[in-house]
């Protein structure tokens, strides 16, 4: 028998189609410790990497969707894309503030890593100048499918944030709210990137090629960011075995997603019947967003 998580909703509360919109939020991280999940410095630092990785990635999402939007003749999809753009822009702003107002205050110098993220998402993955209109559109479609593959993982992580044990472990409530608010919006808009990419070219070849790039790409950036933070965190001095053990402990305590669950979720992406809405629960996400302290403070 499974125990229902406090954030989980019942099927009867399914809100159906949800109009996507950006929410003003404010998170006071002034009292949040660097290791914001007590007893789990490895888990804390691993999740904290998202504060460094996400802002440039989300600005890249916004830029790519703004490029594609004028080509969309489906008004329902265009409306979803505009809501997605607004939410992703707010995510980037919220995590930028966490870096400046929280990580830097704890003595973590982040510029070297964030400069790398800026180069990757603005230069390496940005739009290409020159070429024919057909070549530029082909490159746009490839970027849209890469975003769709990445959004598969953000939806998985969003569902994890809504159902993990951060609160039960005594995690800092404001940092918990920051990541859970973000995760809930990822669940809320989880189908948009897939629908936008499929609007231009829907094929298993596009999907597989994008996932073949997205999985190692995200793994590399996360591991690189984790090493960066651990090397900057003088309060934790552990070797590779200690880091592995710390991650394993985090997974067992349900404060980190288990690697095997992420790999299993990767395979679901290749099912012929796969739909992004197979992941997570819209009603649960909307219920959290209506009660998020960070969103209510900004009203």
Calculate what percentage of the chain has a pLDDT beyond 90: 85
Q: Coil, strand or helix: which one is 32? A: coil
pLDDT, position 297: 81
Greatest Cα-to-Cα distance within the chain, rounded to the nearest angstrom:
59
pLDDT, position 11: 44
The sign of the torsion formed by the CA atoms of 67, 73, 77, 79 equals positive
pLDDT digits (tens, 9 = 90+) for 190-213: 999 999 999 999 988 999 999 999
Whether 49 and 222 have beta carbons less than 8 Å apart is answered as yes
pLDDT digits (tens, 9 = 90+) for 134-185: 999 999 999 999 999 999 999 999 999 999 999 999 999 999 999 999 999 9
Q: What 8-state DSSP symbol labels residue 102? A: I
DSSP letter string, 155-175: HHHHHHHHHSSTTTTT--HHH
Q: What is the pTM of this model?
A: 0.93
Return d(Cα 111, Cα 64) in angstroms, integer: 24
Whether 196 and 67 have beta carbons less than 8 Å apart is answered as no
pLDDT, position 299: 59
Whether 255 and 179 have beta carbons less than 8 Å apart is answered as no
- For residue 12, pLDDT over 50 is answered with no
Choose between 13 and 224: higher pLDDT. Answer: 224
- For residue 127, pLDDT over 70 is answered with yes
**Buried b / exposed e across 161-192, counting CB within 10 Å, b at 16+?**
bbbbebeebebbbbbbbbbbbbbbbbbbbbbb
Residue 69 CB burial class (10 angstroms; 0-12, 13-18, ≥19): middle
Question: CA–CA distance from 76 to each of 39, 80, 83, 88 (Å)?
Answer: 46, 6, 11, 18
pLDDT, position 233: 94
Residue among 117, 141, 122, 148 nearest 51 (CA): 117
User: Which residues, other chains included, contact 111 with Cβ-Cβ below 8 Å and sequence gap of 6+?
Assistant: none
Return d(Cα 191, Cα 148) in angstroms, integer: 8
pLDDT, position 30: 93
Return d(Cα 39, Cα 231) in angstroms, integer: 19
pLDDT, position 296: 87
Q: What 8-state DSSP symbol labels residue 110? A: -
Q: Which residue has the tokens 């998202």?
A: 50
pLDDT digits (tens, 9 = 90+) for 263-288: 998 988 988 889 999 999 999 999 99
Give 2's pLDDT tier (boundaries 50, 70, 90): very low
pLDDT digits (tens, 9 = 90+) for 26-82: 999 999 999 999 999 999 999 999 999 999 999 999 999 999 999 999 999 999 999
């Amino acid at each position: 028998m499974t125990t229902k998580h406090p954030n989980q909703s019942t099927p009867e509360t399914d809100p159906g189609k949800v109009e996507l919109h950006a929410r003003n939020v404010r998170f006071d991280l002034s009292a949040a410790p660097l290791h914001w999940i007590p007893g789990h410095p490895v888990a804390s630092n691993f999740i904290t990497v998202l504060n460094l990785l996400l802002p440039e990635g989300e600005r890249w999402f916004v830029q790519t969707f703004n490029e594609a939007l004028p080509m969309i003749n489906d008004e329902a999809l265009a409306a979803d894309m505009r809501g997605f753009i607004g939410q992703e822009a707010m995510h980037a702003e919220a995590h930028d503030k966490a870096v400046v107002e929280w990580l830097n205050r704890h003595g973590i110098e982040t510029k070297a890593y964030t400069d790398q993220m800026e180069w990757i998402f603005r230069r390496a993955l940005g739009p290409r100048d020159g070429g024919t209109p057909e070549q530029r559109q082909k490159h746009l479609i490839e970027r849209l499918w890469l975003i769709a593959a990445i959004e598969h993982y953000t939806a998985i992580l969003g569902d994890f944030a809504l159902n993990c044990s951060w609160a039960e472990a005594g995690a800092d409530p404001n940092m918990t709210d920051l990541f859970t608010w973000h995760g809930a919006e990822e669940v809320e808009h989880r189908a948009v990137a897939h629908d936008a990419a499929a609007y231009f070219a829907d094929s298993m070849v596009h999907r597989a090629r994008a996932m073949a790039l997205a999985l190692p790409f995200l793994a590399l950036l996360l591991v690189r960011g984790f090493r960066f933070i651990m090397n900057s965190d003088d309060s934790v001095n552990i070797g590779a075995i200690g880091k592995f053990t710390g991650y394993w402990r985090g997974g067992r305590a349900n404060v980190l997603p288990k690697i095997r669950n992420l790999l299993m979720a990767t395979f679901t992406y290749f099912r012929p019947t796969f739909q992004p809405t197979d992941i997570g629960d819209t009603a649960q996400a909307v219920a959290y967003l209506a009660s998020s302290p960070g969103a209510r403070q900004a009203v």
